[in-house]
Amino acid sequence: MAFAYYDALRSISILRASRAAVCCLTAAAALCCTVHARAESGWTRWGGPNQDWKIKCGKLAGEWPESGPKKIWTRELGEGYSSISEEDGKLYTMYREEGEDGKEVAICLDAGTGRTIWEYKYKAKPSDEHVMEFGAGPRATPLICDDRVYTIGVSGIMHCLNKADGKVVWKHDLWKEFKGTVLNHGYSSSALDYGDTVIAMVGGKGHSLMAFRKDNGKVVWKKQDFKNSYSTPMVINVDGQDQLLCFMAEELAALNPENGELLWRVEHKNQWGQNVCLPVWDAKDHLLFITSVAQGGSKCLKLSREGDETMVEEVWANPKLQIHHSNAIRLGDTIYTSSGGRGPGIFYAVDVKTGDIRWKERGFAKATFVYGDGKFFVVDEDGNVGLVEPDPESFKIKANVPLLTKAAWTHPTLVGKRLYLRDRKVIMALDVGAKS
């Protein structure tokens, strides 16, 4: 049953961007155009090529056999929730090796066979504040950029590795070196590249966000006083201006990605500071959707620029629509997502312009999903893997097969005609292509 809970076009606080910052960003747009129009030859970062959980791919099957898609390969992998990045027929992810020394492992696999190409292991004991109920991680996803792979472990150790052999190029301990925020569930934010820099959420006074040179790891800038969160930064372009979106513990902030200066911020608090879900941005209508759990709820913001200012208006808000560590995908004027907070999972279709709930249905536990060839590929936390046909009018489940174990919180990866999945025990590749 549809309902609407929103305030139309309610103005919220706006912070001015300096003229100097705008000039810097105009120049930066040329350096960073690949962030907005990245080639979709692989799944190189958290959220996919353009951080919207969508990818262009081949013709995919519209139905599955009762047993599910064909398994190309499956193999054991250690503890962790890091999702899988892919480029040039190689997979990159992270896991934790069993043992008291607490080693984290960055691993490169052959995408065709699952064979290990290289591993890099290092000691990474979780902090004393770490809540172990949900495991010791790691949680962040490797970033692939040129001939390097950038990883961040659960204890905040950041590595730049050679993509070919896993050798260390440079590293930083974000917590010990820079006194970053120690989070109860460990470091979860993935790195983001921009121009010649790689950006990380660190948290803490004067260095909530930090940018490092890609080649040698030297600090380019460190700014802001925000509390850290479990989200990952992203860059959007608002009327020709690049803006670094940072979903921090108590707000959504936009920074100049060239120097870290604040452009604007919007308060968005919840009970545990667990802002996780990537914002959903559409440059055509300038609507930005954000959401979180535990009284955070969902908001739709409209961004525009007038001179040196970014104008931010709240189009609607719904405190009951709460997304935990799932994701949201926009198709047309509809936002699809798996809500339910910490409770049972509910799939939603939401009108992005009004906030009206077009439909809400059960069928999966709390789930993550990706989009390709007109289809959603869904993984719920009970280990079920599903095929869903997106439809703003009704929930169309085409298949739902148990393939993973419980607490399957890792987001799926779709490249070409293969779906890559993992849980806290195994990693696998499925053939989801249409029969010729």
pLDDT at 176 over 70: yes
What are the angstrom distances between the C-alpha of 212 and each of 174, 198, 199? 12, 5, 6
Instruction: Tell me if 344 is assigned to some domain.
Output: no
Instruction: Tell me if 102 is assigned to some domain.
Output: yes
Residue 195, sorted as left (phi over 0), alpha (psi -120 to 50) or beta, turns out to be left
pLDDT at 3 over 80: no
Instruction: Tell me if 420 is assigned to some domain.
Output: no
pLDDT at 268 over 50: yes
pLDDT, mean over the chain: 89
* pLDDT tens, residue by residue, 249-265: 999 999 999 999 999 99
* Residue whose tokens read 């569930």: 185
23's CB contacts (< 8 A; 6+ apart) are: none
pLDDT, position 23:
35
Residue span of the structural domain in which 102 resides: 32-230
Verify cis geometry, omega within 30 degrees of 0, for the bond prior to 390. Answer: no
Q: What is the CATH number of the domain that holds 156?
A: 2.40.128.630
Instruction: Tell me if 417 is assigned to some domain.
Output: no
Q: How many other CB atoms are found less than 10 A from the CB of residue 350?
A: 30
pLDDT, position 373:
98
pLDDT at 47 over 90: yes
* pLDDT tens, residue by residue, 300-321: 999 999 988 999 999 999 999 9
Instruction: Tell me if 350 is assigned to some domain.
Output: no
pLDDT band at 36 (very low <50, low <70, confident <90, very high): very low
pLDDT, position 21:
37
Tokens of 353: 């312009």
* pLDDT tens, residue by residue, 283-301: 999 999 999 987 789 999 9
Question: In whole angstroms, what is the distance from residue 434 CA to residue 64 CA?
Answer: 10
Tokens of 69: 């898609």
- 18 compared with 414, residue with greater pLDDT: 414
* pLDDT tens, residue by residue, 378-427: 999 999 999 999 999 999 999 999 999 999 999 999 999 999 999 999 99
The total domain count for the chain is 1
Question: In whole angstroms, what is the distance from residue 258 CA to residue 121 CA?
Answer: 33
Instruction: Tell me if 315 is assigned to some domain.
Output: no
What are the angstrom distances between the C-alpha of 262 and each of 200, 220, 289? 16, 16, 20
Q: Region 108-132: what's the mean pLDDT?
A: 90
What is the percent of the chain where pLDDT is above 90?
77
Torsional sign, CA 177, 31, 56, 41: negative
pLDDT band at 101 (very low <50, low <70, confident <90, very high): low
pLDDT, position 99:
63
Instruction: Tell me if 413 is assigned to some domain.
Output: no
Instruction: Tell me if 108 is assigned to some domain.
Output: yes
Contact 186, 141 (CB under 8 A): no
Q: Tell which residue, 75, 80, 82, has the closest CA to residue 102.
A: 80
* pLDDT tens, residue by residue, 366-379: 999 999 999 999 99
Question: In whole angstroms, what is the distance from residue 139 CA to residue 292 CA?
Answer: 18
